[in-house]
Homo-oligomer: A and B are copies of this chain.
Amino acid sequence: MKNTRNTIAKAAIFELIKNSKVALSHAEIQELNQEACDRVTIYRILDRLTAEDVIHKIVTPSGTVKYAACHHADHEEQHHVHNHVHFNCEVCQLVTCLENVEPTFKLPANYKVNQVNFTVSGICPSCAL
């Protein structure tokens, strides 16, 4: 893998994502980061963090892209597959990782899986009250 550097901007953005209980979009990250770095830089940092497998990309049914921290053990060698469910509340719009919900399914023969994206939309417990 290509060398990557630990820059201030990268660390700051990773902190934002790691400390957030919900997945964040590029726009949200930019705002939370107080415009401390360029729009383009954020795109590039998100790409790097995703490639390094410390965050993962989530695409909601409405098409918005969000990012969340990975919670797998650091020592895992192989590229992690994020096969847990992401819940997208239609009321509060928040996207949360349901780390414990891993769907089971069986593909026909000869399909090779590299990546999965399981997103469920609906109403979360908080908004259902």
Q: Tell yes or no: A90 within 8 A of B by CB.
A: yes
Choose one: B101, B113, B123; the contact of A106 (CB below 8 Å).
Answer: B101
A110 within 8 A of B: yes
A93, B123: Cα distance in complex, Å: 32
8 A-B pairs with CB atoms under 8 Å apart are A59-B117, A87-B111, A98-B107, A98-B108, A101-B107, A103-B103, A103-B104, A110-B128
Q: Which of A2-10, A15-23, A60-68 contacts B (4 or more CB under 8 A)?
A: A60-68
Chain B residues whose CB sits within 8 angstroms of the CB of A98 once the complex forms = 107-108
How far is the CB of A4 from the nearest CB of chain B, in Å?
22
- A100 to B124 Cα, complex, angstroms: 28
Number of copies: 2
CA distance A65 to B110 in the complex (A): 25
A79-90 interface code vs B (CB 8 A; 1 in, 0 out): 000000101001
**Min CB distance, A51 to chain B, in Å?**
14
User: Are A112 and B123 in touch, CB under 8 angstroms?
Assistant: yes
- A116 interface residue per 8 A CB criterion: yes
Across the interface, which residues of B come within 8 angstroms of A100, CB to CB?
A: 108
Which of B61, B105, B120 is the one whose CB lies under 8 Å from A104? B105
